[in-house]
Structure 1
Amino acid sequence: MNTGVTARTGPGQMLETPAQEPRHDGRWRARFSNPWFGFAARRLGGVILSVFLLVTLTFLIVPLIPGDPARAIAGTDATPDTLARLRETMGLDQPMPVRFLDYVSSLMQFDLGTSFRFNDPVTAIIASKLPYTAQLAFTAIIVVLLVSTSTGMAVGILTRGGRRRWLDLLFGNVAGFLASLPGYVTATLLVVAFAIMVPIFPAGGADSISALVLPTLALALGPTCAVARVVRQETATVLEQDYMRTARGRRLPPMRLYLRHALPNLLTSTLTLTGLILASLLGGAIIIETVFNYPGLGNEIIQAIIYRDYPVIQGIIVVVGLIATILNLLVDVVLGIIDPRTLGAKSNG
């Protein structure tokens, strides 16, 4: 069966040309040129590199903590034979490369090891403490997003075009001061003010919802002020755009003007900055928990450091690092949905 195409080239001459096979180059080229494909490739490579560095550095740095885990657990009166048996049980008698390979092999099986102190799986210990830390961190993130966006927008609107200069200066100075305070200092001041001088909230524990108020405020206050300053600046920039002047000229209702036309253009910068402070919020939550005696990962890692419980320390750091990496990835995805320009796609123009 001839599938070619016959064409006449001259008097009495026929030229047979082979049939054209269907070409899929354009289809594959369109798939690879999709901005989401490039975004996924870059983020996947970044996540793999981040996890590798996190695991490697954690494994190498934790053993540098001064002290002997065997002596910390057995006590100062332990005999050399007892210490030697403990080190063998803990696997500390093995060379560092062998221990690292065993550690990575266990991680690939979702096994974080066994606690030196309790002889319990580290996954079980973290699973019992993580809900408290997650509750505190995610509550703080919600507070940061809601309060910083609304406050920054309100100040930006009220000070538009150089109006109320005193409010702009007051907001900038107060927000800058509060953003610069370390979390543990803020936590201590809140305990003194609202748990001792005016006993409104409990000073520690997690027995009730009210016990979550002070830790959340201590954790969220600094980031909220930092993000609010950025939102205020972005609001001032957005309000001077031509489309906002046009919208004001049409005398649109304030809620529609600011929520529909101004807010979407602020979300990109707000979410970008929030994504950058997610890791600090998770790390800050661990510090804040020690001030308020909150039963999360903070107290657990402090006790693990005291007893040189390497698997627990490494497990908590790896889990918190993975959560921060995943949250940053989710923020990037949301930013890509809101503003496709953040995907890094080339302009078609």
Structure 2
Amino acid sequence: MTTVSPRLGALARHHPWVVFCCRRAVRLTVSLCVVVTASFAMIRLVPGDPVRAALGVDAPPDLVAAKRRQLGLDHGLPEQYRQYLRQLAHGDLGVSLVTGEPVADLVRARLPATLLLAVLAFACVLVVALPGGLLAALWTRGGRRPRSELAFTATTAVLAGTPDFVLAAGLTAGLAVALRLFPVAGDIGPQSYVLPVLALAVAPTAVLLRIVRVETLKVLATDQLRAARAKRLPARTLWLRHVAPHTLTASLTLAGNLLPALIAGTVLVEKVFAWPGIGSAMAQSVAAQDYAVVEASVLVLGSAVLVVNFLVDLALALLDPRSVIRRT
């Protein structure tokens, strides 16, 4: 320990980016291992026999035994886990117990729709929340317009606390069923994206609006901004050069954590809108007791969240290089 620590300290001082990236890569690897193990154990530890559930209660015992041998379920858990890891190493996610089709084909077909939905919702969050929070801070700074501040706080609090599936059901009832402005379900064109994207984006937008406003008010109260005002700089220069950069750096740090949450939140939203993504496939497979698809869906969505978290961490470090030194 006495010989390794000084070397690590010297490496952190001279090559902070190397240490930062290595630590994040190790953290990602460990987290992926946990997700893989959890996806394996989740199905094996659930009471019941997935093969019997797939074949039916009246299936002959010899057919059930043959299916279990085919899937490798007749071995002990350690051997099943080794087989599971070997399959993953070759990109094999197993076979659907209901349809008999490779689960990897289902994932390849449905994952892009889920990721596109999450990315569009994240883009909407940024487009609305970043300028909206700045304008809200400008409108209510210094205790001005208390009624507007109360309305802003109350509205964003309600929207931020509303679950995604409740928003999805409300949007469907109001805009799709009652007003018939958008399709009720499915992917039949660009207009089909509006309601699921809104259902995913509303709550995170409300959260980020509040954060951006608070961060902006903090910047407006700093001595640095008072000095800039004393120089009688134009309002445009004051906001673009002094307020916005400091506010956005802090806000984007928190906004980066919203994208993984949006990916995870697609499961219920896709179910409501019958969206052809991996989330709806997972929900259908739970109802059909198609455990192979559920297992693969958990693995893929969990891995996607971890990888996005890793990329967001690197992107935020690029935006604020000083954080690399602080975190190494």
- 1:115 matches 2:96: yes
* Amino acid across the alignment from 1:54: V
Matched with 1:232 is 213
Matched with 2:106 is 125
Task: Tell me if the contact between 1:65 and 1:308 (Cα under 8 Å) persists in the aligned partners.
Answer: no
Task: Tell me if the contact between 2:118 and 2:262 (Cα under 8 Å) persists in the aligned partners.
Answer: yes
Q: Distance in 2 between matches of 1:311 and 1:220?
A: 30
Q: Distance in 1 between matches of 2:13 and 2:21?
A: 11
- State which of 32, 35, 38 in structure 2 corresponds to 1:51: 32
User: Structure 2 matches for 1:313-332, cutoff 5 A?
Assistant: 313-332=294-313
The SS at the match of 2:297 is: helix
Matched with 1:20 is none
Equivalent residues, number? 322
Task: Tell me if the contact between 1:279 and 1:321 (Cα under 8 Å) persists in the aligned partners.
Answer: no
* Amino acid across the alignment from 2:265: G
* Amino acid across the alignment from 1:299: S
| 184-193 vs 112-121, greater mean Cα deviation | 112-121
Task: Tell me if the contact between 1:35 and 1:345 (Cα under 8 Å) persists in the aligned partners.
Answer: no
- 1:34 matches 2:15: yes
Task: Tell me if the contact between 2:270 and 2:276 (Cα under 8 Å) persists in the aligned partners.
Answer: yes
Cα-to-partner distance string for 1:241-295 (whole Å, 9 max, x where unaligned): 2222233334444343223322221223222222323232111111100001111
Cα-to-partner distance string for 1:294-318 (whole Å, 9 max, x where unaligned): 1111221122223332332222211
Task: From the superposition, tell whether residues 344 and 61 of structure 1 become closer, same or farther in structure 2 (CA, over 3 Å).
Answer: farther
Cα-to-partner distance string for 1:121-155 (whole Å, 9 max, x where unaligned): 22211010011111111000111112111111111
Cα-to-partner distance string for 1:217-250 (whole Å, 9 max, x where unaligned): 0001011101111111000001112222233334
Matched with 2:161 is 180
Cα-to-partner distance string for 1:312-338 (whole Å, 9 max, x where unaligned): 222221111222112111211121111
Percent identity between matched residues is 37
- 1:280 matches 2:261: yes
Q: Distance in 1 between matches of 2:327 and 2:291?
A: 47
Task: Tell me if the contact between 1:90 and 1:116 (Cα under 8 Å) persists in the aligned partners.
Answer: no
- 1:269 matches 2:250: yes
Q: Which runs of 5+ in 2 are unaligned?
A: 1-5
* Amino acid across the alignment from 1:156: A
Cα-to-partner distance string for 1:8-52 (whole Å, 9 max, x where unaligned): xxxxxxxxxxxxxxxxx99x9467632212211220121011111
- 1:199 matches 2:193: no
Q: For the aligned residues, what is the CA RMSD?
A: 2.2
The SS at the match of 1:46 is: helix
Deviation at 1:86, TM superposition (A): 1.7
Matched with 1:83 is 64
The SS at the match of 1:146 is: helix
Matched with 1:155 is 136
* Amino acid across the alignment from 2:34: L
Task: Tell me if the contact between 2:182 and 2:195 (Cα under 8 Å) persists in the aligned partners.
Answer: yes
The SS at the match of 1:201 is: coil
- State which of 297, 302, 309 in structure 1 corresponds to 2:278: 297
Q: Distance in 2 between matches of 1:172 and 1:332?
A: 29
- 1:136 matches 2:117: yes
Normalised TM-score (structure 1): 0.86
Q: Which runs of 5+ in 1 are unaligned?
A: 1-24
Matched with 1:95 is 76
Deviation at 1:212, TM superposition (A): 0.5
Matched with 2:317 is 336
Q: Distance in 1 between matches of 2:262 and 2:139?
A: 30
Matched with 1:309 is 290
Cα-to-partner distance string for 1:146-188 (whole Å, 9 max, x where unaligned): 2111111111111111111211111111101110011100111
Q: Distance in 2 between matches of 1:282 and 1:41?
A: 25
